[in-house]
Amino acid sequence: MHCEQITLKSGQKRWVCVADGPSDPATGKRRQIRRRAKTQREAKKRVQEALNQLQEYGIDEKKGQKITFEQLANEWLATYELSGVKRNTVRIREKEINILKRFIAKTPISLISHSMYQKIINTLITKEDYARTTVQGVNTTAGMIFKYAVRDKLIKDNPTDGVVIPKKRKTIEEIKENPIDEMYLEREELEEFLNAVYKHGLYLDLERFYTLAFSGMRSGELCALQKQDLDFTKNTIDITKTLYSETSNMRKYELTPPKTEGSIRTIEMEKPIMKLLKRLVRKNDKHKLQYRHLYEDFHDEDFVFCRDNGYPFIPKNIQMRMERILSKTSIKKDITPHSLRHTHISMLTEAGVPLPTIMRRVGHEDMETTMKIYTHVTNKMKEDASDKVRYTYGNILEKISF
pLDDT given at position 393: 55
Domain 69-151 belongs to what topology? Answer: DNA polymerase; domain 1 (1.10.150)
Domain boundaries, the chain: 2-58, 69-151, 181-387
Residue 76 has pLDDT above 50, yes or no: yes
Select the CATH number that applies to the domain covering 181-387 from these four: 1.10.443.10, 3.30.43.10, 3.40.50.620, 3.30.360.10.
1.10.443.10
Lowest mean pLDDT among 120-129, 206-215, 293-302, 372-381: 372-381
Q: How many CA atoms lie within 13 A of 311 on its CB side?
A: 18
SS3 269: coil
CA distance 310 to 227: 12
> Which tens digit of pLDDT belongs to each residue from 19-45?
887 666 556 576 788 888 999 999 999
Mean pLDDT computed over every residue of the chain:
86
Q: Give pTM, 2 decimals.
A: 0.63
Give the residue among 303, 287, 292, 280 at the shortest CA–CA distance from 205: 280
Please compute the mean of the pLDDT values over residues 228-233 and round it to a whole number: 97
Give counts: helices (H), strands (E), the chain. 16, 8
CB 201 within 8 A of CB 325: yes
Alpha carbon of 168 to those of 133, 176, 373: distances in Å?
11, 16, 21
Buried/exposed 109-133: b ≥16 CB within 10 Å, e otherwise: bbebeeeebbebbbebbeeeebeee
Lowest mean pLDDT among 171-185, 279-293, 310-324, 345-359: 171-185
Q: Comparing 312 with 365, which gets the higher pLDDT?
A: 312
CA distance 289 to 296: 15
Give the residue among 72, 29, 68, 35 at the shortest CA–CA distance from 52: 35
Q: Distance of alpha carbon 225 from its chain centroid, rounded?
A: 21
> Which tens digit of pLDDT belongs to each residue from 242-275?
998 877 888 888 898 876 777 899 999 999 999 9
